[in-house]
Amino acid sequence: MAGLVLFVCPHGAGKSRIAAAWFAGAAPGGWTATTAGLEPQERVSAHAPRLLAGSEVADLLDVDLPRPLSAVGEAALTVAIDCPPGAVPGAVEWRLDAREFGEAMNAELRERARRLARELSA
């Protein structure tokens, strides 16, 4: 089985972008990732490229304009990151321990995205 993983965060500009890049770097064959926001910002957060700079997935960061959920087709799996409970029906909900955009958040998203990739390849 393969398909699309949709990462959603409140603004579709930071956390979801970082998670999608880490997932793309570890994704099993046939799996891809995209992002959306509940209330999309006008541009990608400056935190995403800053936190991924120099990493092996920096070039996998989606820098297109943030998009709403309605602009994304059907996903095989949706992951809602720090969204209000139930805001994305049917989504796996990730509540991050790291609250600040820094290395701790990047590390947590990296580990969760890689774990998800491992689970999907099993």
CATH of the domain at 89: 3.40.50.2300
Predicted local confidence at residue 1, as pLDDT: 60
Give the predicted TM-score (pTM) of the model: 0.96
- Identify the DSSP state of 31: -
Q: Measured at the alpha carbon of residue 95, what is the angle toward residues 15 and 110, in degrees to the nearest 5?
A: 50
d(CA 9, CA 38) in angstroms, rounded, equals 7
- The boundaries of the domain holding residue 45 are 4-121
Domain total of the chain: 1
d(CA 80, CA 16) in angstroms, rounded, equals 8
Q: Measured at the alpha carbon of residue 59, what is the angle toward residues 56 and 60, in degrees to the nearest 5?
A: 90
d(CA 55, CA 48) in angstroms, rounded, equals 12
| pLDDT per residue rounded down to tens, the chain (122 residues) | 689 999 999 999 999 999 999 999 999 999 999 999 999 999 999 999 999 999 999 999 999 999 999 999 899 999 999 999 999 999 999 999 999 999 999 999 999 999 999 999 98
Angstrom distances, CA of residue 77 to CA of 49, 54, 88, 91, 117: 25, 28, 11, 7, 12
d(CA 73, CA 68) in angstroms, rounded, equals 11
